[in-house]
Amino acid sequence: MGNKQTIFTPEQLDAYQDCTFFTRKEILRLFYRYRDLAPQLVPLDYTDKPAVTLPYELIAGMPELKDNPFRQRIAEVFSEDGDGNLTLDDFLDMFSVLSEMAPRDLKAYYAFKIYDFNNDDYICKSDLEKTVNKLTRNELTPEEVRLACEKVIYEADADNDGKLSLEDFQQMIIRAPDFL
């Protein structure tokens, strides 16, 4: 065990442990994964909090995200400026929420933001259509996509405003035990 690592100060590690669901070892392992994406950009010494951002293309190449149809939205939701470029903080945050230790309502909150393509805090029809297309790899005809989205809004919209708010989405998640 020991405090042999020199990447973070003990206070930084404590702060990471308190803010994510990871243990010290996992945080260090994730740091090395982050660094392996671009060893020349990421310094080995984070004690002075360098402002290093990895571009989206490197993140999207990670084996965990490479085949996920929502990888771009995931990176955009967790990045500071919304364009998919992640700092180490964002990186740790993303994996913390995606890990199995995160509670469902936290995941539901972020899932809502991922499916909200135009970032207006509502999942409207066009957001849903883009979601369905990504889920089915553009295999459905536009007519089928439209019908499916209408059904979803009809079933889940509790306040009848034609789009899903965060509360509607969370209500639906509570009733679906298979949500991961």
Partner 1 sequence: TCISHGFYAEEKLLESLASMSTSERIKAIQKMPETMKKKREIRNKVLKEITKKSRRHSNQLPCCTQCLHGTAVSFRRFGNSLSEYFHLLQLWHETLKIIGAEFGTSVLSYFIFLKWLLTFNIFSFLINFSFITIPQFVAAESNNLSFTGLELFTGAGYFQQTVLYYGFYTNATISKIKNGPSYNMQLAYIFTIGIYFVICFLILVFSIAKSFCRNFVNPQTYSGKASKLLCAWDFNIINEKAVKLKQKNLSTQIKEDLTEVNKEVLNFSIKERVVRIVIHLLSWVASLGIAVAACAGVYFLSINNLKLFVKGHKNDLESQAAMLVLPIVASLLNAFIPFFYSWLGHLEKFQTPGHLIYVTITRNIILKISVVGILCYYWLNIVATSELQCWETLVGQDIYRLVLVDFIFCLLGSFFGEFLRRIIGTTVCVRLGLPEFDIGRNALDSIYAQTLTWIGILFSPLLPGIQMISFSIVFYVKKVSLMMNCQPPRKVWRTAQMTTSFMFLLFFPSFLGVLSVFGVTVWRLKPSEECGPFRGLSSMYAAVSEWVKILENYTASKWVVWIYHNLITSELFFFILSTLVLIITYLYWQIIEGRKTITKLLHKQIVN
In the complex, the residues that contact partner 1 under the rule CB under 8 A are 1, 15, 17-21, 23-25, 63-70, 80, 89-90, 92-93, 96, 98, 103, 105-106, 109-111, 115, 131-132, 135-137, 139-140, 144, 147-148, 151-152, 154-156, 158-160, 169, 172-180
Phi-psi region of 84 (alpha: psi -120 to 50; beta: other; left: phi over 0): left
**Residue 173 C-beta: closest distance to partner 1, Å:** 6
- Considering beta carbons, is residue 40 or 135 the nearer one to partner 1? 135
- Considering beta carbons, is residue 35 or 153 the nearer one to partner 1? 153
- Considering beta carbons, is residue 56 or 110 the nearer one to partner 1? 110
d(CA 122, CA 54): 29
- Considering beta carbons, is residue 23 or 119 the nearer one to partner 1? 23
- Amino acid in position 2: G
**Residue 149 C-beta: closest distance to partner 1, Å:** 9
**Residue 70 C-beta: closest distance to partner 1, Å:** 7
d(CA 8, CA 148): 49
Overall size of the chain counted in residues: 180
- Considering beta carbons, is residue 6 or 136 the nearer one to partner 1? 136
**Residue 138 C-beta: closest distance to partner 1, Å:** 9
**Residue 105 C-beta: closest distance to partner 1, Å:** 8
